Amino acid sequence: MVATSALSLKTVPALAQSDPLPSWNEGASKSSITNFVARVTTQGGPDFVPPDQRIATFDNDGTLWVEQPMYVQFAFILDRINLLAPQNPSWKTKQPFKAVLEGDMKALAASGEKGLVELMAVTHAGMTVDEFGKIVTDWLSTARDPRFKKPYTELVYQPMLEVLAYLRANGFKTFIVSGGGIEFMRPWTEKVYGIPPEQVVGSSIKTRFEMRDGQPRLFRLPEVNFIDDKVGKPVGINQHIGRRPIAAFGNSDGDLQMLQWATMRGSGAHLGLIVHHTDAEREYAYDRKSHVGKLDLALDAAAVNKWTVADMKNDWKRVFSFG
Amino acid sequence: MVATSALSLKTVPALAQSDPLPSWNEGASKSSITNFVARVTTQGGPDFVPPDQRIATFDNDGTLWVEQPMYVQFAFILDRINLLAPQNPSWKTKQPFKAVLEGDMKALAASGEKGLVELMAVTHAGMTVDEFGKIVTDWLSTARDPRFKKPYTELVYQPMLEVLAYLRANGFKTFIVSGGGIEFMRPWTEKVYGIPPEQVVGSSIKTRFEMRDGQPRLFRLPEVNFIDDKVGKPVGINQHIGRRPIAAFGNSDGDLQMLQWATMRGSGAHLGLIVHHTDAEREYAYDRKSHVGKLDLALDAAAVNKWTVADMKNDWKRVFSFG
């Protein structure tokens, strides 16, 4: 009996049992993550980083969850416009609302940034912060992705969830740094990613504090406060975190400056990783010519700066938890 | 021997040994803090709050450290102007610089907000974020408060350090929410208060991300980004934390809206506390008529809203650790 037990224990593959990244195939991408973590956590090693400085930042759209065929927040806008249309009869004849109601994506695109600002104003402003959070939560509980027929919060990348958990288990503080709306993410990031609201950085509109009926409230205004994209990402990181990350994860040119900020430093271990969407079968395949999540400059920069390019098709055993 | 040991143990005052707030005299102020913490941490109790929602926000100037006879950051500005004067000969004849160099506080006051903005521009902008952090750290290591002859970072209130530690020991996340400059605080708040940079909210100027000599940097611009005071405090709290605090600590009218935001809620335990400067002997005595740290509207609101008013003279056994 004793001998058999010992044998059983030996035959269990120890590595597989303790593998912190089971959805990643063995290879250079996976090794770059585990090697980096080993270096910065080895006490007395040349690259040791104290836990309080282990800051890792993650883009959201296309890095942690699906961004095709359109950003989830854009699907939210379209749904809200349709839902609010009966109370706004003038929208039937007024762009860009008419385009949304008729599903005319060409006319919608033609309305440009001005059109988008108008859509944002009526869907994202004019309510309190609490009310907006509830609207987002309610919408996510019923909305379904058109291709996968799943709630959007299930279209998160299992390999990236494992990276988040692995980093946190090694003393990292994980942050989202997204071009998406900060208040659009906060209602669900803790449950889905284990990232609390205070560790979410994103684009925002202005809010106004006021007393209404003897109660304080924060009212959302139709005015841009901050765009957390491209050169805005290091600015947002500094404003919210006040420290330079040593690891950054992105998937598009919007993440280029965040990756530069995290990795182009005089000394010390660092990790830059780009999720490359190469898997049209299990998810989507797109990069240099995509309208959503264009990856061009950052892909060139990855080669120069030795950032890891995670090839979704070859590096990921599975894409989603439901795979 | 056995009997004696048992007696010795019994005669040790158990409460004093485990008192989390030893610098607070027994009384209503101290009890309001310990009762609040007991309520929100009692599992199964009617006021239990899960740890992730235990958010406490603290003003800095006058709440955690001394703000008289002038804000520490203002002393920094005056010192910087004097230090930079040799490289700026025109300042000798140009206001508001002339007033600073001549120590003419009346002329300086007459330069008003416009003057202050000019002083901020030359002392707080025109360098990278890293460079500014080093300037602040270097200055704090040599600057001394004129009355106590101590580094400013030692002029922190021992009773409030105990509140910070006590709340954290009970699962709270503690944040600074100050009208002072966010980058003026971050270099030292972790060491002095145990509050890391990412939990510091404050006023800020804009920064610009740029590549210089192949290296990324964040450059500080002479342009206001956000004023984290009065109605700005709940806005800053929402922007950075994304949750409503259940406890807030302040000392002036600049903290009124933060206290309202934390405590005026439909249900649930909450704590609002105002540090009332009543001790001219050990520190300073000022409130309704003070130019720095005016406490007038918030003192009236404290009575209405049942906020704790900590009377520095009577509630605090000692003010500083060096007392």
From the candidates B178, B206, B238, which should be mutated to test the interface with A, based on the most A CB atoms within 10 A?
Answer: B238
Chain B contact present for A238, CB below 8 A: yes
Query: What integer pLDDT is reported at residue A17 of this predicted model?
Result: 57
**Per-residue pLDDT for B220 more than 90?**
yes
Q: How far is CA B186 from CA A237, B130, B175, in A?
A: 14, 11, 12
Contact B231 A211 (CB under 8 A): no
End-to-end CA distance of chain A: 39
pLDDT value of position B18? 87
B196: chain A residues, CB-CB within 8 Å: 52
Query: Nearest-CA residue of chain A relative to B204?
Result: A239
H or E stretch including A101? Answer: helix A97-102
**Given a cut of 60, is residue B114 above it in pLDDT?**
yes
Residues 254-293 of B with CB under 8 A from A: 257, 260-261, 264, 266
Mean pLDDT across B267-277: 96
Chain B residues within an 8 Å CB radius of A218: 234-235, 238, 261
A69 upstream amide cis, omega within 30 of 0: yes
Laid out side by side, the sheet with A215-226 consists of A215-226, A200-212, A173-181, A55-58, A247-250, A271-276, A308-311
| Secondary structure element (H or E) that encloses residue B18, with its range | helix B14-18
> B219 to chain A, minimum CA–CA distance in Å?
10
| Interatomic CA distance for residues B169 and B102, integer angstroms | 49
Q: How far is A107 from chain B (nearest CA, A)?
A: 34
Instruction: Tell me: pLDDT of A2 over 80.
Output: no
Q: Which residues of chain A neighbour B233 with C-beta distances below 8 Å?
A: 209
Q: Does A228 touch chain B (CB under 8 A)?
A: no
**Torsion angle of alpha carbons B188, B189, B191, B195, nearest 10°?**
-150
- Are the Cβ atoms of B261 and A207 closer than 8 angstroms? no
**A159-214: pLDDT as tens digits:** 999 999 999 999 999 999 999 999 999 999 999 999 999 999 999 999 999 999 99
Which residues of chain B are within 8 Å of residue A182 when distances are taken between CB atoms?
239, 242
Q: Is B242 on the interface with A (CB under 8 A)?
A: yes
Chain A residues in contact with B183 by the CB 8 A cut-off are: 242
| Cα distances (angstroms) measured from residue A148 to each of A153, A155, A263 | 12, 8, 35
Structure token digits, residue A254: 């919007």
From start to end of chain A, where are the E strands?
55-58, 173-181, 200-212, 215-226, 247-250, 271-276, 308-311
Contact call for residues A172 and A56 (beta carbons, < 8 A): yes
8 Å CB contact of B173 and A198: yes
**pLDDT of B144 higher than 50:** yes
pLDDT score recorded for residue A101: 97
> How far is the C-alpha of A287 from the C-alpha of A299, rounded, in Å?
9
Distances (CA, A) of A236 to A72, A121, A241, A246, B240: 22, 22, 8, 16, 10
Question: Position of tokens 């406060």?
Answer: A225
pLDDT of residue B17: 57
Contacts of B197 in chain A (CB under 8 A): 241-243
Contact B231, B258 (CB under 8 A): no
Cβ A264–B197 below 8 Å, yes or no?
A: no
**Confidence label for B148 from pLDDT (cuts 50, 70 and 90):** very high
Q: What is the ipTM of this complex?
A: 0.93
What percentage of residues in chain A have a pLDDT greater than 90? 93
Nearest to A205 by CA among A186, A191, A220: A220
- How many Cβ pairs within 8 Å bridge chains A and B? 96
List of long-range contacts for A84-90, beta carbons under 8 Å, 24+ apart: A84/A122, A84/A123, A88/A122
Q: What are the tens digits of pLDDT across the range B76-93?
A: 999 999 999 999 999 999
Give me the residue from A197, A206, A216 closest to B260, CB to CB: A216
Q: pTM (2 decimals)? A: 0.94
Q: Which residue among A197, A215, A225 places its CB closest to the CB of B242?
A: A197
Place of tokens 């910087």: B80
Mean pLDDT, residues B241-267: 97
- CB-based contact (8 Å) between B6 and chain A? no
Band of pLDDT at residue A266, cut at 50, 70 and 90: confident
Residue B240 has pLDDT above 50, yes or no: yes
Q: Verify whether the Cβ–Cβ distance A208 to B231 is below 8 Å.
A: yes
Distance of CA B291 to the CA centre of its chain: 17
Q: Which residues of chain B are within 8 Å of residue A210 when distances are taken between CB atoms?
A: 231
Interface of B with A in 177-196 (CB under 8 A): 182-183, 186, 190, 196
Asked if the C-beta of B241 comes within 8 angstroms of chain A's C-beta atoms, the answer is yes
Helices B182-193 and B129-142: crossing angle in degrees, nearest 10, is: 60
A264: nearest CA partner in chain B: B215
Does B235 contact A209 at a Cβ distance shorter than 8 Å? yes
- Output the pLDDT for position A4: 42
Q: What single DSSP character describes residue B212?
A: E
Q: Which candidate from B55, B183, B198 shows the least CB-CB separation from A240?
A: B198
For residue A266, the chain B residues in CB contact (below 8 A) are: 215
Q: Which of B186, B218, B240 sits opposite A198 (nearest CB)?
A: B240
Pairwise CB contact (< 8 Å): B234 & A208:
no
- Among A204, A209, A243, the residue with its CB nearest the CB of B231 is A209
Are B241 and A200 an interchain contact pair (Cβ–Cβ within 8 Å)?
no
How would you label A96-117 residue by residue, b for 16+ Cβ within 10 Å and e otherwise?
A: bbbbbbeeeeeebeebeeebee
Asked if pLDDT for residue A7 goes beyond 60, the answer is: no
